[in-house]
Structure 1
């Protein structure tokens, strides 16, 4: 047996002995204390490097057998095996988890379509005049790519290969460069479609759709705070993020631009329009000019389409009322307030009420039925004229007029037109080339992201259906960029299977472990201990987040979710805490699992692709300011819950 295994087992034995020394005496020790012992052993075993899923599964099976054996020794083995099968089947039958392999497959396809390199270069050039442009472009690229993939390791690794050498060559400090890459890459934990949110939703029983809607604005807020920090560093400490030189900001123009005649206007639209009206220019055919003019006018066309759709939406006539009117109103009470009577139609005889029973009036041309013996005959009822039809019934016959557009629409239109005018006033051929680069890298990816997330958030598709469409979109993007082949598909499917199997076994192990922990009474013991502290909701929330923050140092987010969320979630109803809001705080907090030493997986991902002179300590120092920003973001989200809860309340109230 290897020395590492002997070392790990010896540590576990030492921990068992230590916990038995500090736990109550055997006479006072309950099965709940054994559950706490199991929890401590699992945490230490994971820290020693034992596989998380199989550690949870093995510990759960052993301690479940102990719990069953203490109650019924004869059935302990059978009941333990039944528990394993039932828990494994419940995980496999969970429909929410189907979206995990599809989202992961989409991420690997987008990663291998080489989109991140195109995206970083286009954003880098587009933001060349912004202070700290390389770091800002890195964070925005990480945020967009993390939204498309949700795979932290892939984003940090690729940006370490692309952005880190560029930033170091431009004179950026190693700490700021490493911090921007690692912090930006970790945004995939929070920004949808995050696998963490799916795992938390399946563990805590919270709607994944609401989690996605709630996590959108906190993720954008956190990325914005990162960008603001970089801008402040570049402004007040230029040596850490020096501006780019004029040569690095220069954009190569296509050859047809040099063939255009000189003009007093420098705008691309004006020069293209003038060239089309002039005689044919050598080197600049009309087809090229028309295509370039169409591309240049795309922002204006998109603005016109959006405002046109908005105008139709705000001026649409109010829905016409139906012919059905509310029962019990005066319009439907045919003069008798004690019951409902249908008003007689014009030209027909009204049915008279008969005392004691309903009598049918005689039909014209027939003999009336003789009255019942002992009952006086009723005189024939005179013809009744129909009352005027109620307004609600006749409203459907007339078309509803269109409503006038509100003032806010015209204000928005005016601001948009002014912005378009300013945009085209400074829209040179250099900016046209940058716009074309963004169209080839940012817009296809953004369209796919909006299609996937929009269909989920607005209820057009379930997460599983949207994930399937996202995987198809990843294949289409890879084909469009000529990166799709059998080898790429095979590698993406293989990595997806590996990652999905890891998550699946984590869920199975977590389910068995949670069942054993509940059987031993560990959950009841912790509940009694927490409730006995008589905490307020604020104090409990602070205590829970501090524990999660500290757990993020030695453990990864997967272990924290599957092990500790089943302990925290049952306590939330007692403190009137929304599990959705708690999940958003946990998701933002769990990014510390990738930014906190000594584990800090993103630091090791970056170190694996960084130049040799970049040390691990420099990477850790660069991550610390961004960790502080995360803490500020958690405080802001807690103080202003509407940041995360406004969108779910608007969409799903």
Structure 2
């Protein structure tokens, strides 16, 4: 087997093992070590040690030398170096702090207050509960960046109230599923941190570039909710006074001050300190983690058990991301050494694609990968395969990253493997069937595709803020 053939078999075996359900991080490391041993094998030293095994007097020493020769392979040095590189990456150190902020905010009882306040404030808007749920999802998802947590919590909080208010189950479910995925796009997004670490693009420029596309997507969601509520009032009836009571203006303002503004200020403080150069992403994440603790204490929701849960979940998720990086770096290094990158590059160049065709092909592949894989696995494992090709087609990695971030919304919304639908189904009432949730998701999926078309045709949406803050 030649080196390029070994590289292709390495990739093929990985894909098969993923679909069989093997743990992805350890599958990557195992394949990297196995094929890396083949790639870096030092035959001379191994056989010199093996030739001495017939000498009985020195058998023990011969076995020691043979074992030493077995371990004297550069793949083990590569694994150690890649592990150290990942653990010492300054960009990745922001991940556990942002995760901790999200888990603390999730447990601070602020979301139920936020949804209640926005629900009352938007009472006279068509589809008011849907609008309130979307805005709550956007803020909460931005603060946490954890899709499963947002969809689950909003499903327990908002879905029963929307169903009680006679909302169409599909419509209500689609709002929660789509809103819950926004945290992987809108800064401070953990997904963008991972992309920055994988691609070498500045995280602060990525954050600035993602703001307007994120707002555009939220705006399209809101337009759809309000527009459909006007055209089909039966899917989102206006709430009665019993369902959403009238509240004096003064009390409503106080409700918003104590629910909406604390979370908004926390998010703006974290994001603003990054964008204006007042703090690095890691320092801003530390500010956010401290702010999350302050909010939990202020809302009298901080207990030792909740703190313990937040720390445990933070460590578990961070370990998953870091070991994915270690496995991916080891796998990709061996894959490249065997010539796999050149095969893919030559194949794509041989297709004679235009930049637009290349972008469409890349996004279709990422869209399809979103069915069996999580966003973290796509960003860490497969996006680096496309990165060397960007220069060939004149595509800016910053622009590509924003398109990928938009596209990854679909990985949570596309049946039959729409994870946000399964998160919601797990806590939804029995009458809300999975097919209903899939039906409600589909219009929001088209909104995501429309947002990608807008971004491609108006690239200033991506570049304006980075150029304003940091120059061309």
TM-score (norm 1): 0.67
Deviations 1:473-509 (A, max 9, x none): 0011011111112111111111111111111111111
1:50 corresponds to 2:45: no
| Residues 70 and 604 of structure 1, relative CA distance in 2, 3 Å threshold | farther
CA contact (8 A) 1:183 1:623 kept: yes
Deviations 1:519-555 (A, max 9, x none): 1111110011111222221111111111111111222
1:443 and 1:616 mapped to 2: Cα distance? 35
1:186 corresponds to 2:181: yes
CA contact (8 A) 1:198 1:208 kept: yes
Superposed, which structure 2 residues align to 1:524-563 within 5 Å?
A: 524-563=342-381
Larger Rg: 1
CA contact (8 A) 1:68 1:76 kept: no
Q: Cα distance, 1:610 vs. partner? A: 0.5
Q: Residue 485 of structure 1 corresponds to which residue in structure 2?
A: 303
Q: Give 3-state SS (helix, strand or coil) of 1:95's partner.
A: coil
Superposed, which structure 2 residues align to 1:332-351 within 5 Å?
A: none
Q: 1:63 aligns with which of 35, 38, 56?
A: 35
Q: 1:216 aligns with which of 204, 211, 216?
A: 211
Q: Residue 324 of structure 2 corresponds to which residue in structure 1?
A: 506
Q: Give 3-state SS (helix, strand or coil) of 2:388's partner.
A: helix
Q: 2:4 aligns with which of 13, 18, 32?
A: 32
Q: Residue 41 of structure 1 corresponds to which residue in structure 2?
A: 13
Deviations 1:25-44 (A, max 9, x none): xxxx6322321222222122
Q: Give 3-state SS (helix, strand or coil) of 1:599's partner.
A: coil
Q: Cα distance, 1:250 vs. partner? A: 2.6
Q: Give 3-state SS (helix, strand or coil) of 2:92's partner.
A: helix
Q: 1:519 aligns with which of 337, 344, 351?
A: 337
1:621 and 1:53 mapped to 2: Cα distance? 33
Superposed, which structure 2 residues align to 1:88-167 within 5 Å?
A: 88-167=83-162
Q: Give 3-state SS (helix, strand or coil) of 2:246's partner.
A: coil
1:235 corresponds to 2:207: no
Q: Cα distance, 1:251 vs. partner? A: 2.7
Deviations 1:548-575 (A, max 9, x none): 1111122211111111111100111111
Q: Residue 417 of structure 1 corresponds to which residue in structure 2?
A: none
Provide the aligned length of Structure 1 versus Structure 2: 448
Q: 1:200 aligns with which of 180, 195, 201?
A: 195
Q: 1:585 aligns with which of 403, 421, 425?
A: 403
Q: Residue 618 of structure 1 corresponds to which residue in structure 2?
A: 436
| Residues 556 and 433 of structure 1, relative CA distance in 2, 3 Å threshold | same
Q: Cα distance, 1:73 vs. partner? A: 7.6
Deviations 1:139-170 (A, max 9, x none): 11000111111111111000000111011111
Q: Residue 356 of structure 1 corresponds to which residue in structure 2?
A: none
Q: Cα distance, 1:247 vs. partner? A: 3.4
Greater fraction of residues in helix:
2
CA contact (8 A) 1:32 1:525 kept: yes
Deviations 1:399-427 (A, max 9, x none): xxxxxxxxxxxxxxxxxxxxxxxxxxxxx
1:501 and 1:573 mapped to 2: Cα distance? 32
CA contact (8 A) 1:87 1:512 kept: yes
| Residues 62 and 230 of structure 1, relative CA distance in 2, 3 Å threshold | same
CA contact (8 A) 1:555 1:599 kept: no
1:591 and 1:603 mapped to 2: Cα distance? 13
Superposed, which structure 2 residues align to 1:204-353 within 5 Å?
A: 204-252=199-247
Q: 1:467 aligns with which of 285, 298, 311?
A: 285
Q: Residue 61 of structure 2 corresponds to which residue in structure 1?
A: none
Deviations 1:269-291 (A, max 9, x none): xxxxxxxxxxxxxxxxxxxxxxx
Q: Cα distance, 1:70 vs. partner? A: 8.4
1:645 corresponds to 2:466: no
CA contact (8 A) 2:165 2:243 kept: no
1:214 and 1:33 mapped to 2: Cα distance? 39
Q: Residue 6 of structure 1 corresponds to which residue in structure 2?
A: none
TM-score (norm 2): 0.92
Structure 2: gaps (5+ residues): 47-68
CA contact (8 A) 1:251 1:433 kept: no
Q: Residue 388 of structure 1 corresponds to which residue in structure 2?
A: none
RMSD of Structure 2 on Structure 1 (CA): 1.4
Q: Cα distance, 1:72 vs. partner? A: 6.8
1:45 and 1:635 mapped to 2: Cα distance? 34
Q: Residue 396 of structure 1 corresponds to which residue in structure 2?
A: none
2:105 and 2:389 mapped to 1: Cα distance? 40
Superposed, which structure 2 residues align to 1:381-420 within 5 Å?
A: none
Q: Give 3-state SS (helix, strand or coil) of 2:353's partner.
A: coil
2:449 and 2:244 mapped to 1: Cα distance? 35
Q: Give 3-state SS (helix, strand or coil) of 1:550's partner.
A: helix
Q: Residue 264 of structure 2 corresponds to which residue in structure 1?
A: 446
1:601 corresponds to 2:419: yes
1:171 corresponds to 2:159: no
Q: Cα distance, 1:246 vs. partner? A: 3.3
Q: Cα distance, 1:108 vs. partner? A: 0.5
